Structure 1
């Protein structure tokens, strides 16, 4: 079952060239943070280009529940009248974060140093995901959490009435954990410090600074050290959300493997902590270029042009790049299936605790479609079959995971026989216009009765 309703089986068939412009939605990570920090500012924050997928809409509803005035003005334009740092009200009902691990973990951090309680839940997929990685550092501030065994949702957080600042070294590379600690540190006195052995996406640090918080980042022998001065008054902002590189991955990767394709994906955020996929694809021999490079709202942006690349080569992906492309490995594995040689992906244990075990889900589906895959606890490899060499024909389980569903649908666009997914419904959580956008480019995606 889909976490958002009746399953929606989908099938993707081999198609002609994908051509045209792919206007993908706004960046999901930045959209979540814009709503949350807008709710913690004093005054009106205005946002354009907000991703209006289910994950972000759930965060908007949560901010209303905590007392902020959140208004949808149409066409991706929103406003948030914030309540100030430490000003969250206690919600009257359970906070349902749907499928969003980012949403629930960031919101937990934002409320953990307020003297209130809140109960969180989600869909079947989210309720299986571990929350201790966030609740453990939040406990250092003085917050308490009560959830199901294994630190899983539903879970009640009792915020710290007298929070203390924290110095915390993240045990795994996770922008969600880092961001939750920094958001909690906003309402703690003194300096809250997060130490990352491996740098992760830095949208939170950039946006916190934009809202007026004092944030210092330094690379040391310990790793990347981020220091936040607590109890600022955040200033409302005007935010233009760049397009999501994680969503751009799908039309880009599809264009690389479908003969004759030439697709332009405009206004993509190319934050160095997010652009690892595009670097990796170019190392594989992809015809992928950046046009009109510029900066918008403190984030590097460019237009991406992706063309069919018949001579892709398997490579060893730099493990140090994993944090910058962790959500893109499923799509990368599809491109790897059409490359010559083996693509090895190491240091990706985080994939096993996403919306699904993404290594297991992709390995199982690729094998069913005739591709050889090997995997271990924190690695996997795809033995490419070259251009035109993927048989296809299988139905793959999406496991309530939007990125798994979209990855197998782009596989079907270049495989020799159609590829189906048992439920494409979760795609709406991050990329609600995926089907019409891909169909306008020339893809053939059909729905069937469940």
Structure 2
């Protein structure tokens, strides 16, 4: 699919966001091993989350979906059935990695998990090695580093693991595996990634504690211990960031995103934009489904370059492509470092973002773990490629709202992975 864009005169609108992708995944996966029915409203119906539903159904769990409301009928911790076919995770790393952890402790179950070409190219040793340390029996291509991954459910034990990278997927895979172990799992090290799994497990009755950088989970003593959790999924801050950047960069804009998840592990992009000088207002703050939420309004702003590094990176890793676009339009230099994780996303996002920004007229230098963006550029229209990466597709669409001339995007359908309504919203806010 090809989309061609020209900058509009104004941007105005109130945007109801799709449900958060990370929370949507976990709401289905965790309720699948609870005991009883749960209703999940504002579920993200993007391709990634639909892959999670399909995989859970293939494991014998009854799941019903009506538009963006999903009902999950869990039958207990050890109720999953051996799948009769390969589990296709599509493009979803979250589905592959969290399910691998969940299935690793399901004794007697044999499962093969695979996905599209992009997912099969991504490294999996980051979950395979620590799961093996807990007693998991796993294999796959490249000695278990690439999908397809083979899981033979085994009897797991507790223990301690020091996380070398801040990855919510790795942390969550280990916590889900620990539900089926014979002792307490203690996680230390880089536990500062997204904490949606910890919050949800606690709300469902699991014995889990978080003390600074230390997380402890003790397995339930009975299979029906987890109770179902019904919730309304808050708006996805990763999706909201595209509109925040559009409003900040456009010379005549005011956009409000409602019901955004304001979990502190997810507000890195908001903090970065504030540091760059964006005009941001947060209103109607409240708690929904155990997560803090609010309405965020961003207006036309004059941005300045900053340094994005260190502890901020895990809190905005998915938003870095569009933040790099903001930096290209800001005054002064922006440096992004400590973001080597971008190399192993749906694409090598350092290489693809640098190539796209360069085509738009920005001055950008790639580094091994990030990029240096000169800033101050007046972007021009260009022909750009999504490379099948939903974050890139939306980033280049926002570039088309603020650059001079015509911007043409090839592979625009990639947005369906996380934001199927993206193009409809974009058309509505243009004036």
Interval of TM-score (by shorter of Structure 1 and Structure 2): over 0.9
Task: Give the conservation status (yes or no) of the 8 Å contact 1:130–1:353.
Answer: yes
Runs of 4+ more than 4 Å apart = none
Aligned residue pairs total: 426
Structure 2: state its 5+ residue gaps.
none
Instruction: Tell me whether 1:370 sits opposite 2:361 in the alignment.
Output: yes
Equivalent in the alignment of 1:425:
413
Task: Give the conservation status (yes or no) of the 8 Å contact 1:68–1:82.
Answer: yes
Point out which structure has higher relative CO (alpha carbons under 8 A, 6+ apart): 1
Residue-by-residue CA offset, 1:12-56 (whole Å, 9 max, x unaligned):
221121101111200000000000000010111111111011100
Q: SS at 1:304's partner residue?
A: strand
Equivalent in the alignment of 2:388:
400
The aligned runs of 1:132-171 (5 Å cut-off) are 132-149=125-142, 151-160=145-154, 162-171=155-164
Q: Distance in 2 between matches of 1:117 and 1:412?
A: 47
* TM-score (norm. length: structure 2): 0.96
Equivalent in the alignment of 2:30:
37
Instruction: Tell me whether 1:70 sits opposite 2:82 in the alignment.
Output: no
Equivalent in the alignment of 1:230:
219
Equivalent in the alignment of 2:339:
348
Quote the offset at 1:68 in angstroms. 1.0
Task: Give the conservation status (yes or no) of the 8 Å contact 2:381–2:404.
Answer: yes
Equivalent in the alignment of 2:73:
81
* TM-score (norm. length: structure 1): 0.92
Equivalent in the alignment of 2:203:
210
Residue-by-residue CA offset, 1:178-197 (whole Å, 9 max, x unaligned):
00000000011220112133
Residue 371 and residue 198 in structure 1: after superposition, are their counterparts in 2 closer, same or farther (change >3 A)?
farther
Task: Give the conservation status (yes or no) of the 8 Å contact 1:22–1:265.
Answer: yes
The aligned runs of 1:42-57 (5 Å cut-off) are 42-57=35-50
Quote the offset at 1:295 in angstroms. 1.3
Residue-by-residue CA offset, 1:376-426 (whole Å, 9 max, x unaligned):
11121211125xx11232x22222210011101101111112222221122
Pick the aligned partner of 2:193 from 200, 203, 214: 200
Residue-by-residue CA offset, 1:289-330 (whole Å, 9 max, x unaligned):
101111112211110001111x21011124211001110000
- Which of the two has greater helix per residue? 2
Equivalent in the alignment of 1:298:
290
Q: SS at 1:391's partner residue?
A: coil
Q: Distance in 2 between matches of 1:227 and 1:106?
A: 18
Q: Distance in 1 between matches of 2:408 and 2:50?
A: 28
Q: Distance in 1 between matches of 2:123 and 2:158?
A: 24
Q: SS at 1:281's partner residue?
A: helix
Quote the offset at 1:145 in angstroms. 2.0
Equivalent in the alignment of 2:424:
436
RMSD, matched Cα: 1.3
Equivalent in the alignment of 1:338:
329
Quote the offset at 1:90 in angstroms. 0.5
Task: Give the conservation status (yes or no) of the 8 Å contact 1:188–1:231.
Answer: no
Q: Distance in 1 between matches of 2:48 and 2:329?
A: 31
Q: SS at 1:413's partner residue?
A: helix
Q: Distance in 1 between matches of 2:309 and 2:40?
A: 35
Structure 1: state its 5+ residue gaps.
1-7, 444-450
Q: Distance in 1 between matches of 2:113 and 2:316?
A: 28
Equivalent in the alignment of 1:4:
none
Residue-by-residue CA offset, 1:122-158 (whole Å, 9 max, x unaligned):
1111111111111111112222222222611122111
Q: Distance in 1 between matches of 2:220 and 2:329?
A: 52
